[in-house]
Chain A
Amino acid sequence: MNGNSLKFYLGCGVALLAALLLLGSVQNEYVFFASYVVLQFIVLAIAWNILGGYAGYVNFGTSAFFALGGYSALFMIKAFAAPLVVQIIVAAMFTGVLGLGIGLLSLRLRGIFFSIATVAMAIICETIITNTEFLGGAKGVQMTRPDPIAPFTSYTKMLFFVMAIMTIAAIIIARYIENSWIGRGLRAIRDNEEAAECMGVPTLRLKLIATVISGALMGAAGAPFPMYMSFIEPVSAFSLNYSVSALAMPIIGGTSSWLGPVIGAVLLGTVQQLVTVTISSELNVLIVGVLLVFFVVAAPQGILGLFKKRAEAPKPAAGGAAK
């Protein structure tokens, strides 16, 4: 393990410790209720970025993966009374397979055509769920939360901690992809797919790997959603807000590395929470839109790009070719 990796894993440990400290010291439930949403958006943004940022394939269907994660969990609860961990694993597996299927059907399409296919997929999924009586149909399902597991004093706190672990796992996965042969191949695809293929990169297989991992992470992020809300119904679960935020956060933060979506999600997620509480829940959609337009125009490389420019100016940075 080199110095950078050591620092990275130390940072992950510190973040987890901070989450535990917060759990021990803060009594206000709302803090965890709000932080959960921010963490959930970090996972969604990182997941979106694996396909959208690294490979340059824009997915407008984040809400479908997220909602189907939630509905997989609901299915596991209703059919098997499965515990939370099992719900998350099954949700991730199901949406990972869905990612593979969508990828096989649509990844031969390039650019905007792929994006349109993901929109269509989201609409199809929502229609199917709305018409599935077992999963509550259009009226949704009300749920009672079970008791929290031992050290946790409330279910919201427990969900917060679970989401914190998933966030760190998502960051570790994204960082691994970035630094491995997969990441370099995906970057080559984003820069020029035909040249990548001619340079030996199995482009279709790499894109499928990216859709599976991205889809699985989105599904995992959605799995605790029914229990978090104590309720799930199609319109809010498939809300366009998830798709737009998952795309806006990496673009605002910077798509070149895992840190970008984290910065974007923390910033945008926190602002959204604050606005929801102080002004109105409708206004936060407007804020996402305005910030997105602002960053696309003023800082196309995102916040990360602004810092990089400053850091690279004095010394010609040596990109780590032989990682």
Chain B
Amino acid sequence: MSQSAGQILLKVDDVSKHFGGFTALSHVSVEVAQGERLGLIGPNGSGKTTLINCISGALKNDAGAIVFKGENLNGMPPHQRTRRGIARSFQIPRPFHSMTPVENLAVPLEYVTHRGAAHKADIRGEAESILSDMGLGDKMNAPCAGLSQVELRKLELARAMAARPALLISDEAMAGLSNAECDEVLAILFRLSDKGITIIMIEHIMHAIMRFSNRVICLDAGKLIAGGAPGEVVKNPDVQRAYLGA
């Protein structure tokens, strides 16, 4: 598999995951380089979310290893992986609904970014500046219940960014959004990439994947079936078969 320039940040090494008799991931190996924008595609149920759950630590991989910045993360709980620089957004937004957006961001700012020295940091100022960056400037202190879908997606990304990650995993941040809203979210992801953050994007919206990714990999039934430049992968007969059926 071709690699763009830069060091390997994340290495998924021969990872497998079973749920009872069902194989969700089977010997998946991927390397992600520093600064890369990786698109992860595959039909529903192909194991995309399982793979990122294994990377973020929400699930334990049965075999293989997740290696981040040269460190094997197997057995490490999610909060420690976040402190090491892996942040994710959830497919269905999971805001801390009793808190305002500013308070939502204060959680990772206190627990990750300024851990142990939160009293010295300007948590509120920092949260406000991230939220303004994401275009949520006018909703910062409103209850989360009043946010629209696109605003919730932005809040998911903003909260992940507050942890100052080296690797951001965006799980279908654009599903269900209009074209204009997709462009907004995509622009945010491009800006984050320009700042040097490595991004893995899971998405069903192909034009977003095609525009955004340096490289695309495709999962089908828990196996990696293709990888390469976006244009090549969509033309790959295996990928077309996975999506359209034989």
Question: Which A positions have Cβ atoms within 8 angstroms of B?
Answer: 181, 184-185, 187-188, 190-192, 194-204, 256, 316-319, 321-322
Residue of A185, A190, A204 near B107 (CB, 8 A) is A185
Residues of A within 8 A of B57 (CB): 197
Q: List 20 other contacts, CB 8 Å, given A192-B96, A321-B123.
A: A184-B110, A185-B107, A188-B96, A188-B107, A191-B95, A194-B58, A195-B90, A196-B96, A197-B79, A198-B58, A198-B87, A199-B82, A199-B107, A199-B163, A200-B79, A200-B83, A200-B112, A204-B77, A319-B99, A319-B103
Question: Which B positions have Cβ atoms within 8 angstroms of A?
Answer: 56-58, 77-79, 82-83, 87-88, 90, 94-100, 102-103, 105-108, 110-112, 115, 118, 122-125, 127, 141-142, 159, 163
Establish whether residues A316 and B96, one from each chain, have CB atoms under 8 Å apart when the complex forms. Answer: no
The answer for the CA separation of A294 and B129 in the assembled complex, in Å, is: 44
Establish whether residues B96 and A203, one from each chain, have CB atoms under 8 Å apart when the complex forms. Answer: no
Residues of B within 8 A of A181 (CB): 110-111, 118
Given A316-B142, A319-B102, residue A187 in contact with residue B96 (CB < 8 A): yes
The answer for the CA separation of A202 and B81 in the assembled complex, in Å, is: 11
Establish whether residues B122 and A322, one from each chain, have CB atoms under 8 Å apart when the complex forms. Answer: yes
Establish whether residues B79 and A316, one from each chain, have CB atoms under 8 Å apart when the complex forms. Answer: no
Smallest distance from the beta carbon of B9 to chain A beta carbons, Å? 18
The answer for the CA separation of A192 and B89 in the assembled complex, in Å, is: 13
Residues of B within 8 A of A188 (CB): 96, 99, 107
Compute the total of residue contacts between A and B using a CB distance below 8 Å.
97
Residues of A within 8 A of B90 (CB): 194-195, 198
Smallest distance from the beta carbon of B198 to chain A beta carbons, Å? 17
Instruction: Please name 8 pairs of A and B residues whose Cβ atoms are closer than 8 Å in the assembled complex, sorted by A.
Output: A192-B96, A198-B56, A198-B82, A199-B79, A200-B82, A200-B108, A319-B102, A319-B141
Residues of A within 8 A of B111 (CB): 181, 185, 199-202
Residues of A within 8 A of B108 (CB): 199-200
Establish whether residues B98 and A198, one from each chain, have CB atoms under 8 Å apart when the complex forms. Answer: no
Given A319-B102, A322-B106, residue A202 in contact with residue B124 (CB < 8 A): no
Closest to A201 in B: B111
Residue of A184, A192, A201, A317 near B79 (CB, 8 A) is A201
The answer for the CA separation of A134 and B161 in the assembled complex, in Å, is: 59
Smallest distance from the beta carbon of A187 to chain B beta carbons, Å? 6
Smallest distance from the beta carbon of B84 to chain A beta carbons, Å? 10
Given A187-B98, A199-B163, A200-B83, residue A322 in contact with residue B107 (CB < 8 A): no
Establish whether residues A197 and B110, one from each chain, have CB atoms under 8 Å apart when the complex forms. Answer: no
Establish whether residues B123 and A322, one from each chain, have CB atoms under 8 Å apart when the complex forms. Answer: yes
Residues of A within 8 A of B159 (CB): 199
The answer for the CA separation of A103 and B235 in the assembled complex, in Å, is: 53
Closest to A195 in B: B94
The answer for the CA separation of A199 and B103 in the assembled complex, in Å, is: 12
Establish whether residues B102 and A321, one from each chain, have CB atoms under 8 Å apart when the complex forms. Answer: yes
Given A181-B111, A197-B79, A200-B108, residue A318 in contact with residue B96 (CB < 8 A): no
Residue of B79, B125, B127 near A202 (CB, 8 A) is B79
Residue of A195, A317, A319, A322 near B125 (CB, 8 A) is A322
Given A187-B96, A197-B78, residue A322 in contact with residue B124 (CB < 8 A): yes
